[in-house]
Structure 1
Amino acid sequence: MSKKVAVLGAGSWGTALAMVLEENGNDVCLWSHKAKQADEINFKHTNKLYLPSAVLAANIRATSHIEEAIKDAEVIVFVIPTKAIREVAKTVAPLLTKPTVIVHASKGLEQESHKRISEILEEEIPESKRQAVVALSGPSHAEEVAVKDLTTITAASTNEKAAKVVQDLFMNDYFRVYTNNDIIGVELGAALKNIIAVGAGALQGLGYGDNAKAALMTRGLAEISRLGVAFGADPMTFIGLSGLGDLIVTCTSVHSRNWRAGHMLGKGNSLKEVLESMGMVVEGIATTKAAYELAKQKEIEMPITAAIYEVLYNGANVEDIIVSLMKRDGKSEA
């Protein structure tokens, strides 16, 4: 059944999800905080900055007025950087006139509070105004979804009915959605894999091969699982789509901003140069700090995360850090 859906965030992923929703017959309004971008989508049916090759359906409406985007929406999808989630949720909450399904497709942890995105949304949007919060996550590059490449992701929520609503809303013959009740594991897997992707990019930038990348991803997944389980996640979630699946796609593709950022670091660029060059948010950089602090708080060993933190925040040399990781005391894999 067709629904009225507001997609908040007209970056590459928000635009790609809007395309899927429209193709499935839904009434889609895409919100951008830039009026010029909204005009481009409405009149040219393109979003050249984020998806240069995509042609958007004329039925996808865009607006720079958030109240217009969410008016009468049955489902609201947040697809904005983690650092903006709380502010936008505070804006949305008083505008809601009925309980709405709240979805987010962002991947990160809030700085200082270290909270997951669903926790932020639940804090800022009163229970009386939301049916449930659902996290939409998994191995998915916007560039590939926009050209209808095969993609499989997860809709996670403690509310099984809401997760099924989101599954039905997005699923079609090239975009498959599974449900999952472990929203803690799904969100943490999605956020923490970005850290490992920065490391994978750095390895390639330095000229290391597949052996090194496989080791980093495998031991990185062990770190992700340790931290996730400490916060109540199901360990099995981390070998699923939002864990291992998302880790693989983010650590092995030039589509990944986190991989590209790491690759530039490995090539000798400074963090400042990397961020200026990217022009888009690199979630893994802020998430590294949050995860490093959480690991300290929980007394959980996360040597790869700690090493990447040293590179990003203390200016450590990437090659020296890799040597120090390889020379750590021998341990059992278990």
Structure 2
Amino acid sequence: MTGTRKPKRVTVVGGGAFGTALAQLCGRQGVEVRMWVMEEHARDAINNDHENKPFLPGCPLSDTITAHKEVSEALVDTEMVLFVIPTPFFRSFLVANRTLFPVDVPLVLCSKGIENDSLDTPYEIASEELPGKYLRNLACISGPSFALEVAQNQPTSVTCAAVREEIALTVQHYLSDIMFRVYVGDDIIGAELAGAVKNVLAIACGASDGFGFGYDARAALITRGLAELRRLVVAKGGKESTLMGLAGVGDLVLTCTGTLSRNYQTGKALAEGKSIDDIRNSSKAIAEGVFTAKSIYQMQERTKVDMPICGAVYKVIYEGCSIKDALHTLQSRELKKEGY
């Protein structure tokens, strides 16, 4: 599968902002892209107006991109499948469609999150729900990549991690162009956990900024948040080195400081006194960190990994703790060495 050629056809499963951005990334390279899009109004906008107005407005799309209602239609003669379905809905999608996917093409997981209760990442969900013949071709993409900037052809770099290097290299060749650079790695666990936890930490940073706590507080949250992430990744069998790369520090800094981040904006809205239900109802897009905060809290209870910042975000969202009280609890913990 490896080489420098581009695929003739790619399938994007999911019609949200990031799925649309990845479709445009492939479309601008002359690749035919078939998207599976659940929402009829989004399908109509993509097919008729060449723009996903509901989820990525203002970004013209290549005329090589089409949106389809049936999963089977989107998968015809595809050479790569990009899964961009929010993690809470990923398992049910796979269960309903697991016999439809082609066997000998890369199956690339592009969503970031941890499923509630099962505490599975997208890779773990796919490993459990897909027939064994598919598992050797699984990969994931993670890194600092806002959907809007990818769609606008801004310089972006990400990591593709896969169990088999051949698959990672194929995805690298298929997706990379002069403005979108893909690096290759092998730590799916570390990449997926980093991509999930950074969303929870971004809620904390947004809340801190929303209260006007200053740059010092945000820098501390990012740095100590990285320490929490490191402890979790090591406990789950991932690699520390992954956290020093694009999937780790790169994505963490972007999501915790970039105002395009839905998770950052969720934290800021919480600081302004809005309820989590009001925030959810006011946006068509899902802030993944809201769901992931619950998963991380469950995970730290099971693994006994110390993650106080993530725990504070959970208590603000799900237990009604005020942000000021959560900050006080964090700041008043026992003093200790900085160890990670």
**Same fold, TM-score > 0.5, yes or no:** yes
1:2 aligns with 2:6: yes
- Asked whether 1:305 is paired with 2:310, we answer yes
1:276-287 to structure 2, matched below 5 A, reads 276-287=281-292
Question: How does 1:144-223 map onto structure 2 within 5 Å?
Answer: 144-223=149-228
2:51 aligned residue (42, 46, 51) = 46
Query: Normalization by structure 1: what TM-score?
Result: 0.97
Distance (whole Å) between structure 2 residues aligned to residue 291 and residue 258 of structure 1: 15
1:25 pairs, out of 23, 27, 30, with 30
2:134, 2:213 → 1: CA distance? 51
SS in 2 for 1:204: helix
Classify the secondary structure of the residue corresponding to 2:38. coil
Greater shift, 293-302 or 180-189, is seen at 293-302
Q: 21-30 or 286-295, which moves further after superposition?
A: 21-30
Supply the distance in 1 between the matched residues of 2:121 and 2:319 (Cα, whole angstroms). Answer: 25
Match of 1:271 in 2: 276
Question: 2 CA distance for matches of 1:205 and 1:97?
Answer: 46
SS in 1 for 2:183: strand
- CA displacement, residues 55-84 of structure 1 (integer Å, 9 cap, x when unaligned): 111111111111100122221110010011
Is residue 2:69 matched to residue 1:64?
yes
Query: Is 1:12–1:51's contact at 8 Å kept on the other side of the alignment?
Result: yes
Aligned to 2:245: 240
**CA deviation profile, 1:131-187 (whole Å, cap 9, x unmatched):** 411101100101111111110000011110000010111101110000000010000
Q: Is contact 2:41-2:54 (8 Å) kept? A: no
TM-score w.r.t. structure 2 length?
0.96
CA distance in 2, matches of 1:206, 1:121: 40
Residues 1:76 and 1:134: Cα distance change in structure 2 (over 3 Å) = same
- Deviation sequence 1:3-33 (CA, Å, 0-9, x none): 2211001111001100111222322101100
Does residue 289 in structure 1 map to residue 299 in structure 2? no
Q: Helix, strand or coil: the match of 2:55? A: coil
- Unmatched 5+ residue regions in structure 2? none
- Is the 1:101–1:130 contact (alpha carbons within 8 Å) kept by the matching residues of 2? no
Identity %: 39
Contact kept in structure 2, 1:257 and 1:278, CA below 8 Å: no
Q: Distance between the aligned counterparts of 2:164 and 2:269, measured in 1? A: 41
Residue among 91, 98, 103 paired with 1:98: 103
Q: Which amino acid aligns with 1:226?
A: R
Q: Which residue of 1 aligns with 2:323?
A: 318
CA distance in 1, matches of 2:263, 2:186: 27
Q: Report how far residue 238 of structure 1 moved.
A: 0.9
1:99–1:131 CA contact under 8 A, matched in 2: no
RMSD value over aligned CA atoms? 1.1
Tell me the SS of whatever aligns to 1:263: helix
Distance 1:241 1:206 in 2: 29
Q: Identify if the C-alpha distance between structure 1 residues 97 and 210 changes in structure 2 by more than 3 Å, giving closer, same or farther.
A: closer
The answer on whether the counterparts of 2:136 and 2:163 sit within 8 Å (CA) in structure 1 is: no
**3-state DSSP of counterpart to 1:94:** coil
Match of 1:79 in 2: 84
Instruction: Supply the distance in 1 between the matched residues of 2:279 and 2:186 (Cα, whole angstroms).
Output: 37
CA distance in 2, matches of 1:101, 1:90: 19
Q: Is residue 98–residue 129 contact of structure 1 (8 Å, CA) maintained in 2?
A: yes
Answer yes or no: is 1:123 the counterpart of 2:146.
no
Q: CA 1:205–1:97 in structure 2 vs 1: closer, same or farther (change >3 Å)? A: closer
Name the CA shift for 1:130/1:232 in 2 (closer, same or farther; >3 Å). Answer: closer
Alignment size in residue pairs: 334
Q: Distance in 1 between matches of 2:117 and 2:173?
A: 35
Q: Is the 8 A contact 1:24 1:169 kept in 2?
A: no
SS of match in other structure, 1:103: strand
Deviation, structure 1 residue 130: 5.0
C-alpha change, 1:24 and 1:321, in structure 2 (3 Å) is: same
The aligned amino acid for 1:94 is T
Q: Name the CA distance, whole Å, in 1 between partners of 2:130 and 2:275.
A: 39
Deviation of residue 109 (structure 1)? 0.5
Output the CA distance in 2 between the equivalents of 1:191 and 1:144.
20
